[in-house]
A and B are shown apart, each in its own frame.
Chain A
Amino acid sequence: MAEILGAFEQAVLLAVLRLDQDAYGRAILKEVQARLDRDVAAGAVHATLDRLERKGLLASRLGSGTPVRAGRARRYYRLQPAGVRALNDARAAVETMWHGLRWPLRGRA
């Protein structure tokens, strides 16, 4: 079985999937923040994007810049077949672990 993704890696990959053609650094950051409902450092998202690209789960290309970013190019990301497989594996692993348990759990405390 392929390496299981960490929760943050899954959040970033799912953000890229949801954003589709608009998946560039800042949009991914905002999507991850909205989904996780917490402040996330830009550096954490960029480091994760870089790692996922090196693993072959994402590919990137440079797009055009806009005046608000002083004309600096945007780097757009897209999911690779290995990324889709990794997300499927991650989801399957979680479902296997939860199989037979009723959710939400009822605590004894």
Chain B
Amino acid sequence: MLKMHDVSKIYRTDLIETYALRKFSLEVNAGEFVAVTGPSGSGKTTFLNVAGLLETFDSGSYELDGADVMGLSDDARSKLRNERIGFIFQSFNLIPDLNVQDNVDVPLRYRRFNAAERRERIGSALDLVGLASRAKHMPAQLSGGQQQRVAIARAIAGDPAFLLADEPTGNLDSLMARQVMDLLEQINEMGTTILLVTHDPELARRAQRNVHLIDGQISDFRAYEPRAAAAAGGAQALA
């Protein structure tokens, strides 16, 4: 479970202080699929970076699976990130001179799994995203959609509790975007909690819950009706 309470993140220059997150509070339960939306500069990516322990915050509290992350050392944060969190980025962020298999292997190396276990996990993850046959290909030899699927395989190979996706379909055409979303839903159904930052209303609607950010705070305004609420509303109308 992810629990943020009154989290503030401030970017400072000599002259000004900018609140990227202002007294931001959010709870995400295990197994949820939450879409985070908002205009550019609203703090979506900062939220995702703080949630993913890539950035620290200035005040408030943040618990990840019951652990207070505020006072953790870099080593402890990295370990937690490695074991509990998977990242998916808009621009895939595959390492260009490693082949598909070695890319998926990266988080497993830092987890210090032995070779047999790494091989098994890489195989399962690539199977899940349908790219087992491309294990030896280099990223440049794959289409955008395939690269993002490799990135998803890399994110889930360590079996993380949370998957943080920052505009995962931003660089894909609509068909590939749908395939990637289908895959994320499938992973969510397997029990992984997903936090998805997106501009795309269609994607946001496919989440169970929608959090809308404006100026680093959660807004009451609901830009998109999440799939669960829409389903419930539809059922009510029928009744």
Note whether A and B form a binding pair.
Answer: no
Q: Which residues of B contact A (CB under 8 A)?
A: none
